[in-house]
Amino acid sequence: MKQLNLPPFKYKVIKQNGKPAIFDVIRKKYVALTPEEWVRQHFVHYLIEHKGYPAALMANEMAITLNGMTRRCDSVLYDTKLQPRMIIEYKAATVPITQQVFQQICSYNFVLKVKWLIVSNGLQHYCCYLHPETQQFTFVKDIPFYEEL
């Protein structure tokens, strides 16, 4: 897998049905090791180990209903009252972060109504804060620590 712009972590990879699978600490099971999953696992470990995000308040592949269709948010962070706080969208390292990617995550936010959105392809990471009063986004320079949210 491709080297990412994220700290390394100790991962577990096995073969499942002849294909590589990586252990997901959030779902507590092995999942297919795709290029996007490689980014997700790196980013989740970065949030937990370097930014203080509680693993117990995170969900991967969170299903939502949008315009009558089921969609899956790559990762969602909740607060201690189990209200969504952040949506994170991952792309494979070979996929550029475009306006379409931001439109995708913003459409998920019509349902979840969070204040924080992050998009990452493992090489570039964009984080923005949605001001509730104005509904305007402000891009922040760095991913905030959990206690700053």
Which tens digits make up the pLDDT trace of 8-66?
999 999 999 999 999 999 999 999 999 999 999 999 999 999 999 999 999 999 999 99
Neighbours of 27 (CB within 10 A): 12
- CA 30 from centroid of its chain's CA atoms: 17
pTM here? 0.94
- Per-residue pLDDT band for 1 (boundaries 50, 70, 90) equals confident
Helix (H, G, I), strand (E, B) or coil at 43: helix
pLDDT of residue 133: 86
- Cα–Cα dist 95/97, whole Å: 7
**Mean pLDDT computed over 136-146:** 95
Phi and psi torsions of 44, nearest 5°: -60, -45
Domains, the chain? 53-148 (3.90.1570.30)
Q: Is 122 left (phi over 0), alpha (psi -120 to 50) or beta?
A: left
95 — phi, psi (to 5°)? -95, 120
